[in-house]
Structures are given as structure tokens and as C-alpha cells.
Amino acid sequence: MAKLLQHRLILAVQDLRRSTEFWMTTLGFARDFGDGSDGWSWLSRGGFAVGLGECANEPAASTLGDHSYVAYVTVDDVDALYDEFRARGASLQAPPSSKPWGMREFALRTPDGHRLTFGAVTPAA
């Protein structure tokens, strides 16, 4: 059976320059390739990769309600990541909290309204 080697989210954004700046400056992503001149930004941080495509005339993710959730990212230290994002000015929904399903997590919203949740497994009680 063929192996799946990597994944990359493809997200429609209203303003490519603004969104790229957010992902790079606020979330700490780096450009993988390209310069955005073709309407795309290809970015990653660790194992999380994203392609931002400029779609200025399409509805923004912020208009999609619960359908604006695009990813759940498992991390090694959710509290440290929250502190990093907060220091960088991210629009955070709430501080990390431990959930009954065994994860400690927090969520954020991108400038286009895509919602991301970051979580870490909590130790067994």
C-alpha cells in the first residue's frame, strides 16, 4: 500500500500579503518556496504545511460559522505555544484548558476567519 508522506492544508484567503504576514510573523511559519507573485504562499512550521491561495472575490472563512474550523494540530507543549502566539499578537479564543477527552487545547482565528485548534495529550489521571 502506498504511504502518505506529508499533508498541506489549502486555504482560500482574501488578501495574500496580509495572510502570509500573519502566518509567518504571528504563527512562526517559513516560506517553503515561491514568492507569492502567482497568488500562492507555500508555508510550513515543523510538520504543519499550508498553501494560501488568494481568492479575493470568494466568501471569507469568517462567514462560514462552524465550518471555518480547518485543522486540529497536536503539539508537544500547548501552553508554551499559546504563550508564543499570545506574545506575537494572535487572536486567541481562550487560554489552554484540559478537556474530558484527554487533550489540553486552545484555538485561534486567522485574519480570514479560519479557526485552528492546537492540543497536547494530557497525562492519564
Please identify, among 56, 83, 103, the residue that sits at the C-terminal boundary of a domain: 56
The structure's pTM equals: 0.90
Residues 14 and 40 in one domain: yes
pLDDT digits (tens, 9 = 90+) for 38-87: 999 999 999 999 999 999 898 888 888 888 889 999 999 999 999 999 99
**Secondary structure in 3-state letters for 50-80:** EEEEECCCCCCHHHCHHHHEEEEEECCCHHH
Q: C-alpha grid cell for residue 117?
A: 485548534
In a domain, 112, yes or no: yes
In a domain, 63, yes or no: no
User: What are all long-range contacts of 104-107, with beta carbons under 8 Å and residues at least 24 apart?
Assistant: 104/78, 104/79, 105/78, 106/78, 106/82
